[in-house]
């Protein structure tokens, strides 16, 4: 987990946040994408706030593996497992478009390509940082 986050300083550049994610990986439901040589290249952590809804707590794929289907594979497996347990809605919070960061612009494109809709952009949830709340209905 730590190696994946440290490979993405443009997204996960704050050491305290990285530590919190590493700790969270020990307790939250998690999915890892692992190569045939045993290298972890992608991770997905989930928070199940209520039986009917779940939130992506963290999603990250090593930079060299972007656009090679790893994120898609992680999300597809998660959605399949959630549906099997009766969960009907998947949400995620990410950096909003009021911030000019190009990396997160691509992150939003990933979620939009997977059917997530923009619900609201909060200006006061993360101090000084716009937070876009997105959701996807699991059919």
| Residue burial 75-90, b: 16+ Cβ < 10 Å; e: rest | beebbeebeeeebeeb
Q: Please, how many CA atoms are within 13 Å of residue 75, restricted to the half-sphere of its CB?
A: 22
Among 109, 117, 126, 129, binds ligand COA (CB under 6 A): 109
Among 1, 11, 46, 133, binds ligand COA (CB under 6 A): 11
Among 6, 69, 117, 126, binds ligand COA (CB under 6 A): 69
Subset of residues 39 to 68 that bind ligand COA, contact rule: CB under 6 A: 59-61, 65-68
- CA neighbor of 111 nearest in space, from 54, 56, 45, 29: 56
* Residues engaged in binding ligand COA (CB under 6 A): 8, 11, 59-61, 65-72, 92, 94, 106-107, 109-110, 113
């Amino acid at each position: 987990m730590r190696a994946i986050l440290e490979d993405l300083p443009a997204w996960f550049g704050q050491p305290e946040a990285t530590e919190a994610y590493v700790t969270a990986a020990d307790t939250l439901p998690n999915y890892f994408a692992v190569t045939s040589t045993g290298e972890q290249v992608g991770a997905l952590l989930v928070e199940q706030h209520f039986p009917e809804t779940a939130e992506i707590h963290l999603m990250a794929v090593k930079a060299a593996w972007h656009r090679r289907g790893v994120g898609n594979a992680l999300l597809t497996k998660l959605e399949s497992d959630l549906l099997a347990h009766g969960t009907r809605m998947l949400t995620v919070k990410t950096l909003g478009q009021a911030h000019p960061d190009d990396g997160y612009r691509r992150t939003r494109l990933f979620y939009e390509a997977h059917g997530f809709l923009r619900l609201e952009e909060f200006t006061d949830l993360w101090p000084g940082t716009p937070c876009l709340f997105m959701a996807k209905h699991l059919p």
